[in-house]
Chain A
Amino acid sequence: MIVADPKPFQEVRGFLENYRKILILGCGTCVTVCLSGGEAQAELLASGLRIAFKKDGKEVTVLEDTVQRQCEQEFVTPVLERVKKEGIDAVVTLACGVGVNFLSDRIGAVPVFPGVNTTFYGGNVEAGLWSEMCAGCGECITYLTGGICPIARCSKHLLNGPCGGSEKGMCEVDPKNTECVWQLIYDRMKLLGRLDEMRNLLPMKDWRPAMDGGVRRTVREHIYRLSYKSQT
């Protein structure tokens, strides 16, 4: 899933200097799960903003709402209607960057500000801890590395590691918390009885399916632009 962290309050506050009616929009999926942008967080930010505006003697209405996923047309439409109907003049979304874009593309002349910093694709390692595990590079090579991704989990994104900064299984960048992914790959390949494969150099990676190849889109032909749907 996508992981995000709340932006510093004052940064968000700074976006909103000139608005009178602001909507804080939570998202019910990834950011709810990683405890940074669900309904509870939206309520909290809204409350904080109301307090801060009042302290500054500003009369600003701060509203709150949450949708199931801000990256879907159907879920977002009611919010767009609400923004229009209620004359909301700015939106702070607590969704990942996708939500910010998705709304901005559709909302017309109302500005949309990010309330969180989208950080990575990760997994919940234990209660309260998320860790990066995928880089979305567009061409998965983990079949070569025992299912462990060196691109996402090596600080240097090395395809042929480890580097000299691997010490006692930990990465020199953050020796307390971060394991050296190449140590992990080594251990795992050993466990799988494939240690000899590590003699092979990994081939050069084609980065075109990643960011380098331009904006990525995906089409699922079997439901894309159904003719009977466009008729109605």
Chain B
Amino acid sequence: MEKESHLYATCSAACPVHTDTREYVRRISTGDYEGALDVLLEVNPFSSVCGRICHHPCESQCRRQVIDAPVGLRLLKRFVVENTREYRIQRRKKVEPVLGRKIAVIGSGPSGLTAARDLAMLGYKVTVFEKDSMLGGMLAHAIPRYRLPVDALQEDIDDILALGIESRLNCEVGKDVSFKDLRKEYDAILIAVGLAESHSLPIPGIGSDGILLGIPFLWDVANGSPPTLGDRVMVIGGGNVAIDVARAAKRLGPSQVIMACLESREEMPAWKWEIEEAEEEGISIMNSWGPKAILEQNGKTTGIEFKRCTRVFDENKRFNPQYDESVTTSLDVDSVILTIGQKANLDFLKETTVGVDRGRLICDRESCTATERGVFVSGEVMTGPGSAIQAVATGHDVARAIHHYLETGETLKLPQESIETIGELPAQTAARARKFDHIDVRLTDASQRIKDFSPIEPGYTEAQALSEARRCLACGTGAVLAPSAQCAGCLTCVRICPYGVATVERTASMPAQECLTCGLCAAECPAAGVALARFATNRVKETLESILTDCSAEKIQRPLVVSYCCLYEATSRKYLREQTRSEIEETGILRVMVPCVGRLGSIDLVSPFELGADRVSIIACHETGCLYTGAEELLERRIQQARRFLDEIGVGGESLQFFRTHTSAEESWPQFWRESKEDLRATSAA
């Protein structure tokens, strides 16, 4: 057990900040959205942003995809954030800068603000310098609003600022305040200025009217003062930024937006889904063309000429485009937006001793340091173009490095992470698992969404989120043999495991890599020696006991029904919420939510009677709903067996009832509970 818990699930391993995905998803499925938020915020202060725009490496590595499709983790994250707003405000607290040391952060992108947060939490006095009028870096200024609305970003930023971080807006280092002055005033400086400038192209005609650069273009669009575009717009570039530029341009009303890039369709660096969405919006893409010249008349752009790009990368996979100059094409266009890469503006370091080499900041990634003592670096200015969550990760790293430096005066070499994951889900295990449709949301219709910058993606409803959350395989939290178990190697687990996972070599073993956490072996183990690492049901009796000792026996509205309900069937938080003592007393119904009632062992079916229950009612999920192969059959047989036993001991097998949800939990469960209560009265009257 100890060993397994060190293993990362592949989703968490893939996340640059190693969000404990399984845990927040588990909390969602139990209705504990606040708890889920705690898990998210622990490592990711930009949870709201990431719920909207993260490129979700977690999903790309989700082991569920070999069964059907990955779990919609990004939208689950968004769901959590959107449903815990008040709680998020409540949990804020200011941290007094007790350490007395001062840190200046230059740039308020995700990495700068993450570092600021971590350092403020440690007790440092942090001031963030931002040249723009708004905090957030590219999140605030480049990512178009239809993907990331201002409010979604603001939530994260408000949270961070609440720690007591000072921010100086409209304050450009190098212009409004000098780097040297900061050096004098602050004990450490973090350069987190990102890559705010776009590269241009040295081709004929580039100086003509109608040529724009991608990042400034987006910046202006985001700030509500978009430049005037001609009617036919050409966007040069094939990355995600280019897609954003093209889609933003489309929303400004030109009749044509065309993208052209060196790469073939397959080589395009933009995410597949981004490309598809762009095409839906009527943006066409010309692949394998390189710009040759801008065509102009009287200084005004009239068109663009391309040459065939025959190869983008060389044998060493380095960017090294080759062209066939004899194959050309030209198009009439009025505006061209260049989105072919970004660079940092490091002019503010000109008069300083901080090392810059050909426009690049010299830095050591392992220690997040620049060439001068006390000057640190994080985010894209260090890593090159990446993702928001990666920038957050470097923010955490640099905060550690700065803290170490301020405490010891020494440079911290960040330890190389060695991440051991539980590995892939073997195909033969996946083949035996049940398929469950991934819940997708429908984007606004393309014809509608190009009209303005309104958000195009709806979030999950509660029912959708709960339904998607249960698709999580909870990888690596499955069955484990307790060290004290008297495993006789009886093979019961091997015989009932629906996925062929359990084996016996002297004693039972359920390899974490394969176990799909159905819990059936735990329910059937004759030695009561198997438990689930998480989501365990082997303490049901203790739980019931503690709830019932809290209630006063006389007050309970008899008959007392202990109702085991399928946690995964709930479509709202209504039944997931813990009941109050008086609720149990007044209704005479004690709900126990179980992540699949198939996990209940015989003892769980019988022991409630020992604790004073008059009836046990098991409510399974919908006919087609059970996640786990075989769970229904095993449970039904176990119920038959328990009924015979209850007959024998004089309780009566009919006191153990079994229901299957129809329609929804909200509709059918109360009806089952009524039935349970009435039935008993009928029997006791007779």
Contacts and interface: CB of A to CB of B under 8 A. Distances in A.
Contact of A44 (B486, B495, B602): B602
Categorize the interface residue count of chain B.
Answer: 20 to 34
A44 B486 CA distance: 16
B486 A40 contact: no
Nearest to A10: B648
B506 to A, nearest CB: 13
B528 interface: yes
A10 B650 CA distance: 9
Contact of A39 (B491, B529, B651): B529
B601 to A, nearest CB: 7
Interface string A48-80: 111110110000000000111000000000000
A41 B490 CA distance: 14
Nearest to A54: B610
Contacts of A8: 648
B603 to A, nearest CB: 5
A124 B504 CA distance: 15
B610 A44 contact: no
B526 interface: yes
State which size class the interface on A falls in: 20 to 34
B488 A48 contact: no
B645 A35 contact: no
Nearest to A39: B528
A134 to B, nearest CB: 19
Interface stretch (A25-33, A135-143, A196-204): A25-33
Contacts of A115: none
B606 A44 contact: yes
B527 A48 contact: no
Contact of B486 (A38, A50, A128): A38
B657 interface: no
Contacts of A29: 488
B387 interface: no
Contacts of B609: 47, 51
Contact of A47 (B496, B525, B607, B648): B607
Interface string B486-519: 1011111001100000000000000000000000
Interface string B285-312: 0000000000000000000000000000
Given A38-B486, A38-B488, A44-B602, A50 B610 contact: yes
A124 to B, nearest CB: 8
A225 to B, nearest CB: 30
Max chain A CB contacts within 10 Å: which of B486, B607, B609?
Answer: B486
B649 A41 contact: no
A127 interface: yes
A40 B649 contact: no
A207 interface: no
Interface string B642-656: 000100111100000
Contacts of B602: 40, 44
Contacts of A10: 648
B492 A55 contact: no
Contacts of B526: 32-33, 35, 38-41
A73 to B, nearest CB: 18
Contacts of A38: 486, 488, 490, 526-528
Contacts of A39: 486, 526-529
Contact of B527 (A40, A54, A127): A40
B90 to A, nearest CB: 43
B610 A51 contact: yes
Contacts of A32: 486, 488, 490, 526-527
A48 B486 contact: no
Interface in A1-35: 8-10, 13, 28-29, 32-35
A29 B507 CA distance: 12
Given A32-B488, A33-B490, A35-B492, A48 B645 contact: yes
B483 to A, nearest CB: 14
Interface in A104-118: none
Contacts of A33: 488-491, 526
A184 B682 CA distance: 56
Contacts of B486: 28, 32, 38-39, 66-68
A179 interface: no
Majority SS at the chain A contact face: helix
Nearest to A38: B526
A33 B609 CA distance: 27
A124 B496 CA distance: 15
A49 B645 CA distance: 11
A39 B528 CA distance: 6
Given A32-B526, A51-B651, A40 B601 contact: yes
A67 B607 CA distance: 22
Contacts of A35: 490, 492, 526
A188 B651 CA distance: 50
A52 B490 contact: no
Interface in A141-174: none
A47 B492 contact: no
A47 B610 contact: yes
Nearest to B485: A39
Contacts of B610: 47, 50-51, 54
A28 B488 contact: yes
A69 to B, nearest CB: 10
Contacts of A13: 649
B525 A40 contact: yes
Given A9-B649, A29-B488, A47 B527 contact: no
Nearest to A42: B528
Contacts of A44: 602-603, 606, 645
B648 A9 contact: yes
Contacts of A47: 603, 606-607, 609-610
A67 B484 CA distance: 11
Nearest to A55: B650
A48 B528 contact: no
Interface in B505-550: 525-529
A89 to B, nearest CB: 21
B527 A52 contact: no
B603 A40 contact: yes
Contacts of A124: 491
Contacts of A66: 486, 527
Contacts of B649: 9, 13, 48-49, 51-52
A29 B649 CA distance: 26
A8 B648 CA distance: 8
Contacts of B645: 9, 44, 48
Contacts of A50: 610
A41 to B, nearest CB: 6
A43 B603 contact: yes
27 contacts: A13-B649, A28-B488, A29-B488, A32-B526, A32-B527, A33-B490, A35-B490, A35-B492, A35-B526, A38-B488, A38-B527, A39-B527, A39-B529, A40-B602, A43-B603, A47-B603, A48-B649, A49-B649, A50-B610, A51-B606, A51-B609, A51-B649, A51-B650, A52-B649, A52-B650, A127-B495, A127-B496
**Ranked 10 nearest A-B pairs via Cβ:** A28-B486, A38-B526, A9-B648, A33-B490, A127-B495, A32-B488, A40-B528, A39-B528, A48-B649, A38-B527
Interface of B: 486, 488-492, 495-496, 525-529, 601-603, 606-607, 609-610, 645, 648-651
Given A33-B489, A40-B527, 6 more contacts: A9-B648, A28-B486, A32-B527, A44-B645, A47-B603, A51-B609
